[in-house]
Structure 1
Amino acid sequence: MSEYTAPALGRGAVEVPEPGAVTLVVPTFNESANIRQLLHRITESVPARLPCEVLFVDDSTDDTPEVIRAAAQDCPFPVAVLHREEPVGGLGGAVVEGLKAATSDWIVVMDGDCQHPPSLVPELVATGERTNAALVVASRYIEGGSRAGLAGGYRVAVSRGATWLAKALFPRRLHGISDPMSGFFAIRRSAVTADVLKPLGYKILLELAVRSRPRRVAEVPFVFQDRFAGESKSTAQEGLRFLRHLAGLRTASPAARMVGFGLIGASGFVPNLVGLWALTALGMHYVPAEILANQLGVVWNFLLIEQLLFRDRRAHRRWWDRLGRFALLANADLVLRIPLIALLVGRFGMGALSATALALVMTFVLRFVGTEALVYLPRRTDRKRAA
């Protein structure tokens, strides 16, 4: 096997077995002003002995695809562009499309705004080969790394807060990954499990590490650089998408979803009580007022579980079908609870308080299972089509 030498950021050269090839996957959205500079840096940084190709996955609404094709004429390596008319999953979705399309032994994911230095590509691959890691993360938060390119204290605080929150929610999955918010990493194509990924927004590394983390992970430091041109795509809306993404990842297992379902159900008491207060204040009798107020709680719960628990399972039914089924289950819970309490007290001799508590637990479990099976489980025709 032939050898190549990769730079190691001032720590001396490291000889490693040469990988078959590297595909650089670059997601882009209106980055036309950065394309030529990025390709120029890649040309200067990646050794000729490291076979390389660049795949842009583009969601742009400007002339970025045309600029890529024109700039590719001057490159000594293959450059391709995959333009998506529908940017499903945002930047993360673009990366997943690139992972599926890549054919090289190693895939390096990096941004198209020149904040990720292409000079680090050889070391990412070299570190993976040397340590036998399947995933190598470029980190701003280990010795030798820096977040210098983050503009302003606000973005620094947001980045650190997001990192802390993600690591707090996934201590095992993110163990050994100091920068789960990084968008710069290398992964072996043999370790890619793109079909299980459900990206939402920018944080594809977080998605990959939580849903299908390779067993062996390594890190190399990098200095996050200033943008070459244009403005950051980070917005408050992306921040909300990140929080929804975290919630979706955290509630991926049935047990976690059940906990979330219970917490959301408990929060439904707030609109229920507010509605009851408002309706009785308007002169309505408390019985019909409670029935109507309960529906406010049902709608509240439905909206939250749609966004936080079952966001990726909503395509199997129309919204009104899902809402109707969920409301039917929620109201059936109320109807079932009273005779169940009477049965536990009269037949099994339980006290009223303990019977009520047990009935609440039993109907909660039934409602959760019913919601999973009758509202969000794909219909048989959908499952057969997917198969």
Structure 2
Amino acid sequence: MVISRRNFLSTTVAASAVLTCPGLVKSVFAAAESIKIGVPTGITGNWSALGLQIQRACKLFEKATNADGGIDGRQVQFFYEDTQGDPATCVRKTSELIERNKINLVTGIISSPESLAVMPRLEEWNALYVASVTGVGSITAKNFVPNAFRSCSSGPMRARTIALWLAKGPEKRFFSIAQDYAWGKTSVETFGKLLAGMNKEQIGSVLTPLGAKDYSSYIAKIREANPEVLYVAMSGDDATAFLKQAAQYRLSDRMKIITEVLDLLNTKPLGEVGLGLTGVSQYNFGYDTPKNAEFVKLFKAEYGDIPDTWEGESWQALQFLREAILRAKSTDTAAVRAALEGLEIDSVKGKVTMRACDHQAEQQVFMATLENQSGLPYPTPKIIQAFASPDVVPECRKDSY
């Protein structure tokens, strides 16, 4: 190899810069290195519709953040893997994201069993996980691990909100239907205990297998029990299928239906027959706060529609990560974890604080009802009451009241 005088001098100057000013060179490389976030989520299978919402929020966040100069001068880059809602697949795909792409920040996991399978591996992976969907109460209670956080509301929080809303009502007889896995089971259990404390009765409950298509036998049991209120803890394609069949059987003519997850995903297919359906609106596009208005405007410009529950919840999780990275001035796992603990952000839901003791985000929870609203082609959830975080968030490391 022939080295010219010019190359020799250039190399010498560069080497001298490294020796005399290593901080400068380090900062140049750091500025060029992107912030990588892994998203193991449901791209196919029963959770694909929820997974699509998560991906849309992440892609919009990446586009808007990078156009604004990134986070602390660093561009953001998302990496996606399909878990198909299977816990073992989720662990494998998360591991691949971390090892192949050198990722230590993870979000977007959907089901509770997936989260519970991944969490024990976080310390080994030296990775941090922010749950934006998972509802099972135990991830911030008996299954708590230091590297896991939950930015969304939990199932127990939503059950508590519904119970408080129903407390003054005359109805005494309740029936529950939920998906047969961790979140559904804990929601029904929590709701039943809350009813007992209000001198009301859960006269029956059924758990349905994930991916069920026909709910006629379950609806027959509900009709036979003849409750005054039907409590629904279902999400994804299952919730859509059940609510459509419930409308066909005109269940709402016989009883009040209250859902723990009042998502556009599940209510759009109902059309006008869904009017009056009431439940928890975890994230609500109509909540009047500057941060939410900004998000809705960005979302409409990009997708031509209003954001739904999991788009808003995913956005809130990413807001937490953004502010923690800025506070830590690093993406180091321990540094971001320390920055998240006790962090308060001005979010799409107002002021939200990540509790340090168990990593549950303290936030208000909305009750809403489906109404026709001006300028929108389908019924949408309108907030009828907001319950403050002290009223609905369990005590530290507890998932019951």
- Structure having greater relative contact order (Cα 8 Å, sep ≥ 6): 2
Question: Which protein has the bigger strand share?
Answer: 2
Is the radius of gyration larger for structure 1 or structure 2? 1
Under a length normalisation based on structure 1, what TM-score does the superposition of the two structures give? 0.23
Question: Which protein has the bigger helix share?
Answer: 1
Under a length normalisation based on structure 2, what TM-score does the superposition of the two structures give? 0.22
